[in-house]
Amino acid sequence: MADTGFTYVSASSRSKKKRKNKPHLAAEVPLSIAIERTRADLCSHTWWNDWSQFINMIVPDLPCRPTHALCLGLGSPSSSPTSRAQLCLLLDLLVRCEIPRGNTSIYDPVFAEEDKETLSSLGLSVSLENKRAKHPCTDPTLVFMPHCPLRLYENILRENWSARTLSGLILVANTFSGYVESIPKRKLQTQAPCLERLASLVISHPVPSFRDDPSAFNNTSIQFAPPASLPSHDDQFWVLPQEPELGEGDGEVV
């Protein structure tokens, strides 16, 4: 195994900000070098010690050992320092959880060709299909979805809505309880019934904040549902209303 402040902002504003068209890296700085520099910066920061202590306590207590990883909504590493920091966190998690890079699927519609080529050269499997996060996870999976829209969290949960599959998901995502606290209950039950029901059952560990780039990991938690916390398969908990219609912006990514 290897070793890498916490301010809240709204998920919607974060996701929109990440997807603005920013200038790409200067041609003389290959993305692979920029990623290495980002990792070096993270490792030299006191935050890396906080992160290492944090994750070393969590990994042994995970309810399952993920064998695969799925990364959605990363943004463009070639145009966003925040995306590069998040990518470095993902790569470190793969090492700590002993997940082969070849078992890691990654997708974002904003990926530039340089992003795709570099991610592939890192051994990650770059997906070409926008499934709007409707990915069935048949194996225990680390789901890395930093600062995605609410609808995408709902989609990944609905697609895996059973005790067997949910107990095999380790989610690195916006803190679910934040939605419960900030969105009226009836509205959340309509927009995201899966997340609304699951939020009180998951164990949530907030990722330490990074002062040099607060937007990289703010409001991000490692979350999972212990099997014992989930209702039996015949419980009404598993009966869902019809999937809501796509609203404006809901199909934005992944």
Overall average pLDDT of the 222-239 stretch: 96
Q: Is the predicted pLDDT of residue 139 greater than 50, yes or no?
A: yes
- 3-state per-residue secondary structure call for 16-84: HHHCCCCCCCCCCCCHHHHHHHHHHHHHHCHHHHHHHHHHHHHHHHCCCCCCEEEEECCCCCCCCHHHH
7 with 214: CB under 8 angstroms?
A: yes
Position 244 confidence tier, pLDDT thresholds 50, 70, 90: confident
Overall average pLDDT of the 211-236 stretch: 95
Query: What is the tens place of the pLDDT at every residue in 26-73?
Result: 456 899 999 999 999 999 999 999 999 999 999 999 999 999 999 999
Task: Report the range of poorest mean pLDDT among 39-48, 60-69, 121-130, 245-254.
Answer: 245-254
4 with 42: CB under 8 angstroms?
A: yes
Q: What whole-number distance in Å separates Cα of residue 110 and Cα of residue 118?
A: 14
Strand order in the sheet with 141-145: 125-126, 104-107, 68-72, 141-145, 169-174, 220-224, 203-206
Domains parsed from the chain with CATH numbers: 11-16+29-127+137-227 (3.40.50)
- The answer to whether the Cα torsion of 152, 88, 15, 57 is positive or negative is positive
Overall average pLDDT of the 137-156 stretch: 98
Position 165 confidence tier, pLDDT thresholds 50, 70, 90: very high
Query: What is the tens place of the pLDDT at every residue in 89-115?
Result: 999 999 999 999 999 999 999 999 999
- Burial code (b: 16+ CB inside 10 Å, e: under 16) for 207-228 equals bbbbeebebbbbbbbbbbbeee
83, 197, 209, 216 from 50: Cα distances, Å:
20, 31, 9, 15
Position 25 confidence tier, pLDDT thresholds 50, 70, 90: low
Overall average pLDDT of the 203-207 stretch: 98
Residue found by looking up tokens 């995408």 in the block = 152
pTM: 0.87
